[in-house]
Amino acid sequence: MRTVDLIHRKRDGEELNAEEIAFLVEGYTRGEIPDYQMSAFLMAVFFKGMTDPEVSTLTDLMMKSGETVDLSSIPGMKVDKHSTGGVGDKTSLIAAPLAASAGVIVPMISGRALGHTGGTLDKLESIPGFRTNLTLDEFRQVLSEHGLAFIGQTPEVAPADGRFYALRDATGTVESVPLIASSIMSKKLAIGLDAIVLDVKVGSGAFMKRQVEARRLAQMMVGIGRRMDKRVQALITDMNQPLGYAVGNALEIMEVAQTLTGAGPEDLTQLSIEIAARMIFLAKITKTLDEARDIAQRRLVDGSGYRKFKDVIAAQGGNPQVLDRFELLPNATGVREISSPRPGYVSNIDAEYIGQASQMIGAGRDTKEDVIDPAVGVILEVKVGQKVESGAVLCRLYYTREDRLEDAAQLVEDAFRISGTAPEERQLILEVVG
Binds its own copies (CB under 8 A): choice among 23, 28, 46, 416: 46
**For the residues of 181-209, what is the DSSP string, one character each?**
HHHHHHHHHTTT-SEEEEEEEESTTSSB-
Residue whose CB is less far from its own copies, 45 or 222: 45
Pick the closest to residue 124 from 147, 150, 101, 86 (CA basis).
150
Binds its own copies (CB under 8 A): choice among 16, 21, 38, 257: 38
Binds its own copies (CB under 8 A): choice among 83, 101, 154, 173: 173
Q: Is 82 one of the catalytic residues?
A: yes
**Residues 82, 86, 92, 93: what is their CA dihedral angle, to the nearest 10 degrees?**
160
**Residue 169 binds to its own copies (criterion: CB under 8 A):** yes
**Residue 202 binds to its own copies (criterion: CB under 8 A):** no
CB of 168 to its own copies, least distance (A): 9
The CB-side HSE value for 28 (13 A sphere, CA atoms) comes to 27
**Residue 32 binds to its own copies (criterion: CB under 8 A):** no
Binds its own copies (CB under 8 A): choice among 15, 18, 29, 39: 39
Q: Which stretch binds its own copies (CB under 8 A): 39-47, 129-137, 320-328, 388-396?
A: 39-47
**Residue 35 binds to its own copies (criterion: CB under 8 A):** yes
| Spatial contact of 235 and 198, defined as CB atoms under 8 Å apart | yes
Instruction: For residues 381 and 10, give the distance between their C-alpha atoms in angstroms, rounded to a whole number.
Output: 49
Size of the site for its own copies (CB under 8 A): 23
**Residue 431 binds to its own copies (criterion: CB under 8 A):** no
By residue count, the chain amounts to 434
Q: Which stretch binds its own copies (CB under 8 A): 41-49, 102-110, 323-331, 408-416?
A: 41-49
Pick the closest to residue 170 from 365, 368, 8 (CA basis).
368
Q: Is 404 one of the catalytic residues?
A: no
Q: Which residues contact 310 (CB under 8 A, 6 or more apart)?
A: 320, 323
Binds its own copies (CB under 8 A): choice among 13, 34, 129, 343: 34
Q: Is 183 one of the catalytic residues?
A: yes
Q: Is 238 one of the catalytic residues?
A: no
From the candidates 183, 204, 272, 340, give the one annotated as an active-site residue.
Answer: 183
Run of H or E including 41: helix 35-48
Instruction: For residues 252 and 363, give the distance between their C-alpha atoms in angstroms, rounded to a whole number.
Output: 11
CB of 26 to its own copies, least distance (A): 18
Residue whose CB is less far from its own copies, 163 or 299: 163
Instruction: For residues 412 and 355, give the distance between their C-alpha atoms in angstroms, rounded to a whole number.
Output: 9
**Residue 36 binds to its own copies (criterion: CB under 8 A):** yes
CB of 162 to its own copies, least distance (A): 16
Q: Is 8 one of the catalytic residues?
A: no
Instruction: For residues 256 and 236, give the distance between their C-alpha atoms in angstroms, rounded to a whole number.
Output: 21
Pick the closest to residue 237 from 121, 86, 346 (CA basis).
86
Catalytic residue IDs: 82, 161, 168, 183, 187
Positions in the binding site for its own copies (CB under 8 A) = 3-4, 7-8, 11, 34-40, 42-44, 46-47, 167, 169-173
